[in-house]
Structure 1
Amino acid sequence: MALRRTQSKPQNLWSVLGMSLVLSLVFGLTVACQMFSGSQGIEDLGAVRMESAEKVPFAGIARTLAYSKGGDSLVVAGCQSGGSNSDNPCATGLVQVWNFQGTSSATTRTLPRGVTALAMSPDGSKWVAGDTEGRLILSATKGVSKPFHQKSEITALAFSPDGKWIASGSLDPAFPLGLMDVTVGGVIRVKTRFEPVQALAFSPDGKTLAVGMTRGGVVLWNFTSSGTPEVVAGSLASSAVMSIAFSPDGELLAYGTQNGKVVVVNRGSGQSSAEYKGAAAVNAIAFSPDGQFLALGQDNGK
């Protein structure tokens, strides 16, 4: 949808490539989105569509995407059949890194469990993936990472803008939010109380972490201080918050909910500056690089 910051409502919704379940959406030099259509055979589920580009093949079910800042590479992650349970189409994890410099080429890494969340560092040099059992796997590490204290599915990951921190969200009620110092490793449980987490985003200045919770509500937390997290006005009345994004200048915060509502909040005033009500869960949300447009990925592919 188009954002005009002087207007109270969005002018239109930008449709995202067809009638399918859109699970992940990223802006790069082009727009890429991952689509999952229940009407297709399992062999057709692993496709990544890119505006004005060919399909990027993926030998499994693609669940999440991450673009490098310059658009030189795209990481696609999900799951595939294999391992001891060959009948399970999502038995093992798969991460595929596409390099678009020169001739397009991809490298693939297989993981023990299906990948549910993914993030790329700001400089594009590394990625981190989370799986169904609470593992975090860094691209820079060899072998398989051990499970951390988050013992349930990793639902969201985010690198801080300086690349030093990784925030991880989980459905684990005892450990819903963790922080990893990339230079040290290991995930620290955040002692501040949060509900199970579904979405995460760092502000462009790296000072604020936006946390979207499965029971509804968006919290803005200055993790560099001991301050009390701030609940975004009106967000507690929402259903599960599925996606969050800051505008490039940090002035706006957008979030999408399970019941199809999209809210754009002006951080200066704390008030909603735009709202949209769709018919399906908003699983993915992203601002354009100039901050004037907001792309939405919904369960119905619109």
Structure 2
Amino acid sequence: MGILLRNAHTFQFLESLTRNIGSEDKFRGKDIGSIGNAAFSPDGNTIVSCGGNNIHLWDAHTNQRLKTLIGHTKSVNSVVFSPDGNTIASASDDGTICLWNVSTRKRLKTLMAHADSVNSVVFSSDGKTIASAGDDRTVRLWNANTGELIKTLTGHVENVNTVAFSSDGNTIASGSGRLVYLGGRENSGTCVGQEIRLWNANTGELIKTLTGHTSVVNSVVFSPDGNTIASGSGHWMGYEGKASAGEEVRLWNANTGELIKTLTGHKDVVSSVAFSPDGNLIVSGDWYDWNGHLSSGTWSGEIRVWDAHTGEHLKTLKGHTGGVSSVAFSPDGKVLASGRTDGTILLWDFSTLP
């Protein structure tokens, strides 16, 4: 795994901050693995990423790897810092959520969270509650201090892939969907259960169901002011022919549930969406273009930058030799971290973006 810095305006490397670790084969997944996602600490000094079964902490300024946290027995899909920066929560295919002390880098607690893979985990803005989403079709709320289950939110009919809190902590958004292959994985498939649900975070009651995506909802996020939800979607059609379908970003009114705008232009599955801290930009990343055939395909990915108010496409950031698995802004909005499926994180300088 390495971290590289690029300028978001010129798309040129500013400098290589680290060297790749190990051989190419090891670099691509036998040691680090594909980046599940990456996140900044609240003070912007540390980046946490997940790859394979492990979690990695990086110094955001020197780019040195600080620590590898080991404890999950299957792939880690999601990592996040608590709002005070003292705790990391990680979610895994092993069905657990692990809580880690950032200072000691020791595991605090393991939550036997879901009956299947846990795909997404997030803290509420006050740090008191953790929400998780899983392949068991549920969203679960946890006491962040005790690890006790508070409530299970049911209603999704397929895998819940992503979950987010509003900035005031009163609303939860969850996105679902699953690809069902028709006649085997080498053939095309169809998407089922694609929807976004809005929940009252205090009572667990369903507020509204947002429909309209034609494919799997992979990412949902609230704008900093809580008034808008951005969602990213897409699914793979199979290993022959067209690689993906339904690749889009949708903007929703978080209060009424009405669709505001659909942002199109991605050619592959939209895997991750993020708002800039000031709420003016949306970035979305895509991945997984097999060029029609498994045997000769190559992973590629791009990041699109949008005006959050008008939906105008501002820029396309290219340079990922692996697909883009995650995008996350630093707290000051000057740096964007993007995780790659080849086990590398790219840092983009957004301070120069007009």
- Range into which the TM-score falls when normalised by the shorter chain: 0.7 to 0.9
Does 2:125 align with 1:122?
yes
Does 2:40 align with 1:27?
yes
233, 237, 243: which one aligns with 1:213: 233
Give the C-alpha shift of residue 150 in structure 1. 1.0
In structure 2, C-alpha distance between the alignment counterparts of 1:136 and 1:15, rounded to whole Å: 38
- The verdict on how the C-alpha distance between 1:279 and 1:227 changes in structure 2, with shifts beyond 3 A counting, is same
- The verdict on how the C-alpha distance between 1:162 and 1:204 changes in structure 2, with shifts beyond 3 A counting, is same
Give the C-alpha shift of residue 197 in structure 1. 0.5
Give the C-alpha shift of residue 100 in structure 1. 3.3
Do the aligned residues in 1 keep the contact of 2:140 with 2:149 (CA within 8 Å)? no
Do the aligned residues in 1 keep the contact of 2:165 with 2:222 (CA within 8 Å)? yes
In structure 2, C-alpha distance between the alignment counterparts of 1:47 and 1:95, rounded to whole Å: 13
SS at match of 2:169: coil
- The verdict on how the C-alpha distance between 1:190 and 1:73 changes in structure 2, with shifts beyond 3 A counting, is same
- Which amino acid in structure 1 is aligned with residue 57 of structure 2? M
110, 119, 138: which one aligns with 1:135: 138
Matching residue of 2:253 = 222
Matching residue of 2:304 = 263
Matching residue of 1:83 = none
SS at match of 1:162: coil
Give the C-alpha shift of residue 225 in structure 1. 3.1
Does 2:320 align with 1:272?
no
Do the aligned residues in 1 keep the contact of 2:208 with 2:257 (CA within 8 Å)? no
In structure 2, C-alpha distance between the alignment counterparts of 1:201 and 1:133, rounded to whole Å: 21
Give the C-alpha shift of residue 186 in structure 1. 3.4
Do the aligned residues in 2 keep the contact of 1:10 with 1:274 (CA within 8 Å)? no
- The verdict on how the C-alpha distance between 1:162 and 1:144 changes in structure 2, with shifts beyond 3 A counting, is closer
In structure 1, C-alpha distance between the alignment counterparts of 2:193 and 2:117, rounded to whole Å: 22
In terms of fraction of residues, the more strand-rich structure is: 2
Do the aligned residues in 1 keep the contact of 2:218 with 2:270 (CA within 8 Å)? yes
Aligned length: 276
In structure 2, C-alpha distance between the alignment counterparts of 1:226 and 1:182, rounded to whole Å: 16
In structure 1, C-alpha distance between the alignment counterparts of 2:150 and 2:171, rounded to whole Å: 20
167, 181, 196: which one aligns with 1:177: 196
What is the aligned-residue RMSD (CA, Å)? 2.6
Once the two structures are overlaid, the 10-residue window that deviates more, 94-103 or 149-158, is 94-103
In structure 2, C-alpha distance between the alignment counterparts of 1:15 and 1:254, rounded to whole Å: 23
Matching residue of 1:241 = 270
- The verdict on how the C-alpha distance between 1:2 and 1:69 changes in structure 2, with shifts beyond 3 A counting, is farther
Does 2:57 align with 1:50?
yes
Once the two structures are overlaid, the 10-residue window that deviates more, 265-274 or 58-67, is 265-274
Do the aligned residues in 2 keep the contact of 1:265 with 1:274 (CA within 8 Å)? no
Matching residue of 1:231 = 262
Q: Is there any run of 5+ residues in structure 1 with no aligned partner, and where?
A: 37-45, 81-92
Q: What percent of counterpart residues are identical? A: 24
Give the C-alpha shift of residue 246 in structure 1. 0.9
In structure 2, C-alpha distance between the alignment counterparts of 1:222 and 1:15, rounded to whole Å: 40
In structure 2, C-alpha distance between the alignment counterparts of 1:200 and 1:267, rounded to whole Å: 14
Do the aligned residues in 2 keep the contact of 1:149 with 1:175 (CA within 8 Å)? no
- Which amino acid in structure 2 is aligned with residue 266 of structure 1? D
Give the C-alpha shift of residue 268 in structure 1. 4.8
TM-score by length of 2: 0.71
TM-score by length of 1: 0.82
Give the C-alpha shift of residue 144 in structure 1. 8.5
User: Of the two structures, which has the highest relative contact order with CA contacts closer than 8 Å and spacing of 6 or more?
Assistant: 1
Do the aligned residues in 2 keep the contact of 1:281 with 1:299 (CA within 8 Å)? yes
Q: Deviations over 1:11-48 (max 9, x none)?
A: 33888975330001110041000012xxxxxxxxx211
